[in-house]
Structure 1
Amino acid sequence: MTEAVPLSLCAREPRVPADRLVAEMVPPPRFDSVRFETYVPDRNQPSQAEAVTVLSSFAAGLGGAHATGSGRRRWFTRKPAAPAAPRGVYLDGGYGVGKTHLLASLWHATPAEPSLKAFGTFVELTNLVGALGFQQTVKTLSGHRLLCIDEFELDDPGDTVLVSTLLGKLVEAGVALAATSNTLPGKLGEGRFAAADFLREIQGLSAHFRPLRIDGEDYRHRGLPEAPAPFSDEQVTRASHATGGASLDDFPQLLEHLARVHPSRYGALTDGVRAVCLTDVRPVPDQSTALRLVVLADRLYDREVPVLASGLPFDRLFSDEMLQGGYRKKYFRAISRLTALARDAKGLVEQ
C-alpha cells in the first residue's frame, strides 16, 4: 500500500477573506445535525430538561417578521409597569454539559432562513469586527433574527467595551441573543483583568440576557474509560503516513507557528485535515501560548478532527498555576475536548 505524505500545519499560513467569516457563521460540522430532540438530558440534573423546554419556547417566539423600531419587544411582551425583560438567553454551566448542543439546536429550531441567523464563538465575533469594522458588523448583523455566541468570555477591557457596544446596537435593531459560557454574565472578566473598572459595561451585557443554569458532569467522559495514554513518536509518525489527509507536526514547533497565525484563521488552518498527529507533546510554556492552543482545540473539536499524540498526556498540558487562574475554565475545556479527540484517534494506530 502506498503511504500518504502527511500534511503540516506549520507549513500553512491561511488568509481568510471577510465574506468567508460571515458565510461561516453557522453551527460547525459537529453540531450541524443536532436538535433539541437529540439532546439527552441527565435524569439526575433537572436543569438540563428545563433548558430544552425554555429554549424551545424561545425559538418558537422568534417566528414572524423581523422586529424593528417600536416592535422589537414583541418576543418578550410585558405590561407597561413591569421592568424591561432581557432579550436573550445565557446558558451557564460547566464544560461538557451540552451547552453548545443546545445553542446549535436553538439556531436550527428558530423559524428563519439561515441567512437571518448567525452562530459563532466569541472569538469569531470579535474577529468579524476586526475584519469588517464595527459599523459594517452592526449593519451586517442588524438584519438577523438571532445571534448565537458560543464560549462567551471577556479576556480584556477592550473586548468588554467592544462587545457591550455591539450587542447594545443589535438589541436596539431587534436582534435576539443567545450565548453560552462557563461564567455567569455578571461575573465575566473576573480573575483576568480589573473587571471592577469596567463594571458598567459588564452589567450592561448582563442586562441583555436571562441566565439559564445547566448543571451536570462532562458528557464526553461520562461512563467512558480513561483517556488513552500517549503513543510513541514512531507510532504517531507511522499513523500519519498511513492516514490520508493527516497532518504531522512537532508540538513545540506548532505552538510557535500558532503565534504567527491569527486565531481567526485557525479553522482555515485545518481545512481538509482528517487527523492531526503531534509528536513530543509537552507542557505549554506560557499563558499566551496556552490561550492560542485553546482556540485551536476548539476548532479541531468543532470539526471532529481526531488528535493522535506522543509525549505527555493532555491533562498535563497546563501548569497548576494556569489551572487555578482566571482562564482555568478555558483550559479545562481544552483538556476535555482534546481528550475526546485523542480517544477518537485510537483507531489510527495499528494494533
Structure 2
Amino acid sequence: MASALQTAYDQRLRDGAIRADPGQAAALAPLVRLEGELADADAGPGLKRLFVKPRSHRGVYLVGPVGRGKSMLMDLFYETVPIARKRRTHFHVFMGEIHRLIDAWRKGDAGARKARFGQHKGDDPIVPVAEVVAAEARLLCFDEFQVTDIADAMILGRLFTALFERGVTLVATSNRLPDQLYLNGINRQLFLPFIDLLKSKAEVVVIAGPHDYRLDRLRAAGTWFSPADAGHTEAFDGLWRDMLGHEDEDGETLEVLGRKLHFPHAAGGLLRASFASLCSVALGPNDYVALAERFHTVFLEGLPTLTPQRREEARRLVVLIDALYEARTHLIVLADAEPVALYPAGDGSFEFERTASRLQEMRSAGWLEARQG
C-alpha cells in the first residue's frame, strides 16, 4: 500500500510549500516504516483486535537544531497515519497533565478515584495514570521533548514502561539526543534507565542539515518593529501567526521559588507577552531566568518609551534583557521607539545604554545565526 505520508510530503514539494532537503528526506523512511506498522496492526479481523493485547511499536525520535523541519515532519505523519486513537501535544503540556493526574489519585477517596480512573485500590498512582493515558491514545506525538525538572525525571522511567506495556507508541521531536536529556540534573543516575528505555523503544533520527527554516522567517520579517503603528502591529502579528503555524496557544505556567507565573500566549518554545505583564509587575531575576530557559523565542509587545517616573519598569527591562541575552534567546519586539531611544533620561538611563546595545545586537543577522538548539 502506498504511503500517505510520502504522498503528502511529495505533494508539498510539488506545491512549493517546502524545499527539497536531504535531511528531511532521510527522516521520512522511519516514519513511513512506522506508518505501515500501525496500519497493519489496525488491519486485522475486528474480533482478533478485541482480544489481542495491543503492542507497542518502535517509535521515532527526531532530534536536531531548531528550524530543521522536525515538527513539520511529525505533524505530517500525525495527519496522515491511519489510526483513530492518537494525540499530538507538547511534552511539557503532557507532563503537566500527568502530575495533575498523580495528584488526583493521591488526594482522591475511593469514589473519586473510581470515577476518574475506573479503579481505586493501591497507593502507587503510576499504573492507573498510565491506563488513563493509554485508553485515550495508542500513539503519542510529542513536540519539544526535553527534561529539566526533577519531578519529571524521577517518574518518566516507570511511567513510560507502563505506557509501552499497554501498547502505546511514541514519536517525538527534540533538540537533544537521548543521552543529553536531564544532563547534570540532580540524581541523574536514577534517570539513566529511562534513557536506555527510550533508545530501545524509539529509533533516533538526527536531522541536522545546514538550513534553518525558522530563521528564514525572522530574516525576511525582521525582529524589531517600531513605531508601534498599525502597519508594524500587523507585521508583528503576522510573524507570530507564521511562527505558530498549526500550533495552539496552550499557555504555560512556570513555577519559580514556589510561585506560579502564567503566560496565556505560549506554544512550545514560543512566548508572546506584553511589556506590562513582564516589567510592570513584581518579577525578578529568578523569574526572568526561568522564562529564558523555558522559551527559545520571545515576542515582546507594547514596549513604550520610558520616562523617569517608570524607572522601576526600566530596571526590570534591563534584568529581563540580560536573562534573554545570556540564554541566546530570539527576541522579536513591537516598540514605540528604537532601542537607543527607549529610556533617554532618568535614574539608570546611563546604565540602560548597555541594554540598548544588547537589543541592537539581538536584532542583528549575526545573533540570529548564532542561536542554536
- Please give the range of the TM-score, normalised by the shorter of the 2 chains: 0.5 to 0.7
Question: What residue identity is the alignment partner of 1:318?
Answer: A
Do 2:144 and 2:172's aligned partners in 1 also have CA atoms closer than 8 Å? yes
1:64-213 paired onto structure 2 within 5 Å: 64-65=41-42, 72=55, 75=57, 87-113=58-84, 116-133=85-102, 134-143=126-135, 144-213=137-206
Cα distance in 2 for partners of 1:67, 1:262 equals 44
| Contact 1:97 1:219 (C-alpha < 8 Å) held by counterparts | yes
Instruction: Evaluate the alpha carbon distance shift between residue 198 and residue 89 of structure 1 in structure 2; reply closer, same or farther with a 3 A threshold.
Output: same
Look up the equivalent residue of 1:195 and give its one-letter code.
R
Assess, with a 3 A threshold, how the Cα gap between structure 1 residues 151 and 68 changes in structure 2: closer, same or farther.
farther
Pick the structure with more helix per residue: 2
User: For 1:197 and 1:164, how far apart are their aligned partners in 2?
Assistant: 9
Other-structure match for 1:246: none
**Do the aligned partners of residues 296 and 189 (structure 1) sit closer, same or farther apart at CA in structure 2, a change above 3 Å counting?**
closer
Contact 2:54 2:166 in 1 (8 A): no
**Runs of 5+ consecutive residues of structure 1 not aligned to the other structure:** 1-34, 76-86, 244-254, 301-305, 324-331, 343-351
Work out which of the two has the higher radius of gyration on C-alpha atoms and give 1 or 2: 2
Instruction: State how many pairs are aligned.
Output: 253
Q: 1:278 aligns with which of 266, 275, 278?
A: 275
8 Å CA contact retained: 1:42, 1:48: no
1:103–1:178 Cα contact (<8 Å) kept: yes
- What SS class does the counterpart of residue 323 from structure 2 fall into? coil
Matched residue, 2:290: 291
- The letter for the 1-side match of 2:25 is A
* Cα drift, residue 320 of structure 1: 5.7
What's the CA shift for 1:185?
0.9
Q: Alpha carbons of 1:194 and 1:135: their partners in 2 closer, same or farther (altered >3 Å)?
A: closer
Deviations 1:232-252 (Å, cap 9, x if unpaired)? 5x759x969xx9xxxxxxxxx
Task: Compute the displacement of 1:150 (Å).
Answer: 1.2
Tell me which amino acid in the other structure corresponds to 1:51: A
In 2, the alpha carbon distance for the partners of 1:267 and 1:318 equals 21
TM-score by length of 2: 0.54
Query: In structure 2, what is the Cα distance between the partners aligned to 1:231 and 1:147?
Result: 42
Preserved contact between residue 231 and residue 310 of structure 1 (Cα < 8 Å): no
RMSD of the alignment, in Å? 4.4
Q: Do the aligned partners of 1:91 and 1:212 also contact (CA within 8 Å) in 2?
A: yes
Matches of residues 182-261 of structure 1 in structure 2 within 5 Å? 182-216=175-209, 217-222=211-216, 224-225=219-220, 227-231=222-226
Identity %: 22
Q: Per-residue displacement from partner, 1:5-54 (whole Å, max 9, x unpaired)?
A: xxxxxxxxxxxxxxxxxxxxxxxxxxxxxx644476654x5221111233
Structure 2: distance between partners of 1:193 and 1:42? 42
CA deviation digits over 1:278-300, x for unaligned, max 9? 36978x954553434665778x9
Q: From the superposition, tell whether residues 177 and 320 of structure 1 become closer, same or farther in structure 2 (CA, over 3 Å).
A: same
Distance change (3 Å), C-alpha of 1:51 and 1:151: same
Aligned residue for 2:99, secondary structure, equals helix
Q: What 5-or-longer segments of structure 2 have no aligned partner? A: 1-7, 43-48, 103-125, 238-251, 305-316, 335-373
Distance 1:94 1:239, change over 3 A: closer
How far is the alpha carbon of 1:221 from its aligned partner? Answer: 1.7
Contact 1:155 1:189 in 2 (8 A): yes
Q: In structure 2, how many angstroms separate the alpha carbons of the residues matched to 1:117 and 1:290?
A: 35
The one of the two structures with greater contact order (alpha-carbon pairs below 8 A, sep at least 6) is 1
Post-superposition shift, 1:101?
1.5
**Counterpart code for 2:97:** L
AA aligned opposite 2:275: L
CA distance in 2, matches of 1:258, 1:70: 39
Does the CA contact (< 8 Å) of 2:170 and 2:202 recur in 1? yes
